[in-house]
Every structure is written in C-alpha cells, then in structure tokens.
Amino acid sequence: MIHKIRKAAVLMPILAALAAPLSASETALKVHDAWIAEAPPGVRVNAGYLIIGNQSGRKRVLTDVTSPAFSRIEMHSTVISDDGTSSMQRQKRIPVPAGERFRFSPGGHHLMLFDGREPIRTGDEIPLILHFADGITIDTIAAVRRINSSHEHH
Amino acid sequence: MMLKKKTVNAVALILGLIALGLGVGFSTAHYYTGPAKEPAQEPSIEGLFWPNPKQVRPFETVDHTGERFGLKQLEGRWSFLFFGFTHCPDICPVTLSVLDQVERELEQRGITNTQTLFVTVDPERDTTRQLSEYVGYFNPDFIGLGGSEEQIRSLTGQLGVVAARGEVSEDGDYLVDHSASVLLVDPRGRLISLFSAPHKADEILSRFLDIRQFMQQQS
C-alpha cells in the first residue's frame, strides 16, 4: 500500500531524529499483524489488534487511529482489577519507546471501532491509518477474521 | 468524542457493594495447601472452594430460547458461568472463544455433562433474540441467560458478580464494567471454583479435570 520502504532512512537515523514531520518509512516505524475481530451478530462495535515496532532512535506516540470504514475509532485497554472486575480504559496516547514493540492483543490493549459504514465480514480487508504525535501517519491493512478462527470448519 | 459522564446506575452500585462483600468471602475461601496424598482430603487445587462450597440458591432467569432457567437447570451437570454483555468488544468474545475451546476439548475426552452459560449484565440491550444470535456464534450449545434486571440479580447477587454501567456517549453507547471471572458450579448446584482472567483454555481445562477428579473421590 502507501507504506513504502526507503533504504536511505536506515543510514540516516540522526537526520531522521532532527527533521519532522517525516514519512513512516523514514522513521522506521512498522505496523504489522493488524486484524479486526468480526463482530458477532447484532453487535455494532468491532475490536481491532495490531503490533507497532519502533526501530527509530526515539520514542513515538500513537495518538489516533482512523479508517474510512468506521466513523470513530478509540484506543482502549481492558483492565482487570484485584477483585476480578474488568473495565475498559480509554487511552489517548500510546507511547512506543525507541527500539521496542507495542502489541494490541485480545484481553489487553485494543482498538474499538464504532459504526462500521457497512457490515464487515471475515475475509474483508480494512484500511487503517495510524496517527503519531509528531505528524507521522502510517497506513496499514487489517484483515477481518473470527476471534476463534479454529471454529470455522464447524 | 465528548462523553457525558452519567452517574452510575444506583441499582448496579448496590449490587456491586453486596458483591464486594461476597468477593471477600471468595478470597478467604481459596485453598492453597500442599500436595495431597492418598484420596485427597485437602485439595491442592488452586481456587477450589472446599470443603465449604457455596450452595446456589433458587433463582429465575430466562434463557436465549425464552425458556425459564433456574437452579434445576444447573443440576446434573457442571456449569461454566461467565458474565458480560454482547456489546463488549474485547474480553467477552475472548472469554467465550476460550470457553468454546474448553468445551470442544472436553467433548473430545468424552465428557459431555458440562454446559457454558453466558449471563448478561446488560438486560436492557441484551434481549432474548440478541442473546440467541450472540451465544450461537461462539458455540451452538452455549446458553445465554437474561430476563429482567431483577431476574438477573437473583443469580448475580448471590454469586458476588459485580456489574456497573459506565459512561454513556452521545450516541447512547455505553460499556459495563463487570466481573471477568469464570465461575464453576458442580452438578449439585454448588459454586465450586472460580477462574480469574486472563483466561487460557488449557489452564481452565486442566484445573477443571483436577476438580472433577477430586470431587469424584469425595463422593
């Protein structure tokens, strides 16, 4: 997709750190394994997951995720308190330290995707745009699948 | 997006407070004893409420087919109970898919006297029809339990299940904080164990098999 790789960026980490805004490839931010859980029947909200790898020399902060397929996307984390209660806490900023990965995964951090413009089903591919604090955006594609995908042959 | 902060539903709060009290009871009922010898007298199984399991009292809910579901329907089989709501995007689908895996593993082992119950803590949105479509998506044998708020409370109240409605957004959406634990009720209607989140199918399976074996030794 729009996410292109330029080798020059790898050789120029210092320049990359000084200049902003930059394209994703120049900052060595990688997004992979993005997927969206198909919503069960009658449910209007989807959960999405992905991994961000930050191979740049500085901390990057994810501040927003958008998609042409949804009217609103929020970042949440599922928190289990000591008494066993789960609650969802909205996250406005997701810092990804230099050289580290951040994982959105089931039961932990997740995207909440509201009001799909049309029903999405397993096999669909949904574009997501990740917005970082310093003006960087990264485009990725999330595959839609069942949360218990081993169940499909039932 | 602007969120209107709404005061937490008073009923849910009271329920939560009662539940908190009961929750303390739960934690003190945990047993962490050394490895058992011989036919176990003192179980070494984590989270097993023994020797004083709580007897579930009569309750009345409505299942996803519209039939009454009460204490009688818990008897004669092992029941995994999970409490949530269908508009819960993350922890509920995750837990139900874990329980689906557990049920399929049990089936492969020839253990069929189990049932998985999804009890809604959001009866306003989770109608019988909604529950029916929802639980069937995860496993055709899953049972969804709903009914009026009072009916649901007849079950959640005595089990110490916490539920409280969160913020309501402009478009009327809201989330419900709720207990993420899976409860295990034995075939005699006794609350026998509790599995805490995060849930893993192999852990629930192996602990369940241990508990089942232990209980067989007791009778």
Position B117 scores a pLDDT of: 98
Interface probe for B, chosen from A50, A85, A113, A122 (most Cβ of B below 10 Å), is A85
Reported pTM:
0.80
Name the least confident of A126-135, B35-44, B82-91.
Answer: B35-44
Position A24 scores a pLDDT of: 52
Name the least confident of A87-91, A146-150, B80-84.
Answer: A146-150
Position A26 scores a pLDDT of: 54
B59 CB-side CA count, 13 A = 28
Query: Across chain B, what does the average pLDDT equal?
Result: 85
Kindly state the percentage of chain B with pLDDT values over 90.
66
B155 CB-side CA count, 13 A = 30
Position B11 scores a pLDDT of: 44
Nearest to B178, CA basis, from B25, B28, B64, B12: B12
Q: Is the pLDDT of residue A29 over 70?
A: yes
| Chains A–B, number of C-beta pairs less than 8 Å apart | 96
The Cα A46–Cα A128 span in angstroms is: 13
B133 chain-A contacts, CB cut-off 8 A:
40-42
B128 chain-A contacts, CB cut-off 8 A:
none
Position B39 scores a pLDDT of: 52
Interface probe for B, chosen from A112, A147, A152, A153 (most Cβ of B below 10 Å), is A147
Residues from B contacting A (CB-CB < 8 Å) are 1, 20, 23, 86-87, 89-91, 93-94, 97, 100-101, 129-130, 133-134, 136-139, 162, 166, 171, 173, 175, 177-181, 194, 196-199
The pLDDT confidence band at residue B44, using thresholds 50, 70 and 90, is confident
Instruction: Provide the phi-psi class of B191: left if phi over 0, else alpha when psi is between -120 and 50, else beta.
Output: beta
Interchain contact, A83 vs B20, CB within 8 Å:
yes
Interchain contact, A86 vs B178, CB within 8 Å:
yes
Query: Can you tell me the mean pLDDT for A39-63?
Result: 94
Interchain contact, A76 vs B181, CB within 8 Å:
no
Tokens 């990359």 -> residue: A16
Interchain contact, B91 vs A151, CB within 8 Å:
no
Query: Can you tell me the mean pLDDT for B184-204?
Result: 96
The SS3 of residue A131 is strand
Q: Is the pLDDT of residue B97 over 70?
A: yes
Most confident of B8-12, B26-30, B38-42, B79-83: B79-83
Query: Can you tell me the mean pLDDT for A37-54?
Result: 95
Query: Can you tell me the mean pLDDT for A113-131?
Result: 94
